[in-house]
Amino acid sequence: MKFKLGSTAAAVIAAVSLSLAGCGGGGHHGHHHDDPEEDSVYVDIQVIDGYLKDARVFIDLNRNFEWDPQEPRGYTDYEGIAHLDVRKEELDKHGDTPLQVIVTASKGTSDYVYGVKDTLNSQVTMSRNIFVNRDMHDGVWYVISPFSVLNDISIYGTREYYDYDSYQGKLADLAGTAGASEKVIFDNKDYNLNIRDENDLRTVVAGEVLTRRGLLPETPEDLEKMIKAGSTDSAEIEKCRELTGEITDYALEDMKDNPKYSGNDLLDTIDEVLKKNARTEEGDTPKDNSDTPAGDKETAPETPSAGTQTGDETPDTPSV
């Protein structure tokens, strides 16, 4: 049974959580807003399946699961980062309760895995609660991922949903169930940087598997329905954990013999294992991994382009 909080209780819990959370999402690698204003709190959102570029990000202030003109909105760069700002007067209206961020990436969106470009094979919507205090001066940074949206679906409306430490703890537990590194998720770090770090690698692979197996909502409307249903498919998540372990083991073994092992190699391994598993699930005899040809992948630019986009601005690549 889920316990739903009244608005006053939620505000009290959130206020206590915010005082403990400090800057909430922790630090990241050198992304700043050019013209800070005293009447706004700055929020950097990083979207990681791989880094999703030109995904639409907005803060759903009224939690109606759609973007309204007064709500902060932006689009992600090559590192999956969107720069937003929240007016302190808006935070006053919401009593410092957690804010809901929603990300939608259309089919064909660039997905940069360890610097190599892949593309999404279907539209994907992600979300997470962010904890923002009007008295923060340096802003906050949060990672949104396949794990955060599944966490929202699992605990929406419960005490854990409104409390920073509890939310992070549940997020780590769910990520671990899906095969990711719980430590990486709890630390809320950018884990798409070092392919030879086993914790990072396992977490990237787990996110890719969840997305490619269609466990995430496609639209904000789907997200709303799943959140209200309040459950995730535990058998599917367990299967994702199994596949993540298999892919990670192959990758780590290949790395021993290949000092130049790259995101391209990892994407090939993910594709091969998932195709083999799909044939098995369909009842066919699985073929050897070597029969799947490797595809060409595009490497991300060394210097990512970043910029703040809010209001009705449109990115170079159309987003949903």
Q: Which two tokens stand for residue 167?
A: 């939310």
In a domain? residue 111: yes
On whether residue 88 sits in a domain, the answer given is yes
- Please tell me the distance from the alpha carbon of residue 80 to that of residue 89, in angstroms, as a whole number: 28
- Residue 299: what pLDDT? 57
Closest alpha carbon to 29 in 44, 51, 49, 18:
44
Residue 310 lies in a domain: no
Structural tokens at position 69: 């003109």
- 262: tokens are 């790259």
Is residue 182 domain-resident?
A: yes
Per-residue model confidence (pLDDT) at position 161 = 92
Tell me if 79 is assigned to some domain.
Answer: yes
Q: In this structure, which amino acid lies at residue 26?
A: G
Output the six-digit token pair for 139.
């802003």
Cα 84 from Cα 67, distance rounded (Å): 14
3-state secondary structure of 13: helix
pLDDT at 167: 95
Name the domain count of the chain.
1
Q: Is 95 part of a structural domain of the chain?
A: yes
Residue 249, domain member (yes or no) = yes
In tens digits, the chain (320 residues) has pLDDT values of 333 334 434 443 344 344 334 344 544 444 455 555 678 899 999 999 999 999 999 999 999 999 999 999 999 999 999 999 999 888 888 776 899 999 999 999 999 999 999 999 999 999 999 998 877 767 899 999 999 999 999 999 899 999 999 999 999 999 999 999 999 998 888 999 999 999 999 999 999 999 999 999 999 999 999 999 987 788 999 999 999 999 999 999 999 999 999 999 999 999 999 999 999 888 755 444 444 444 445 555 544 444 444 444 444 444 33
Q: Which pTM was predicted?
A: 0.80
Q: Is residue 291 part of a domain?
A: no
State the residue range of the domain holding 123: 22-285
Look at residue 21 in the predicted model and tell me its pLDDT: 41
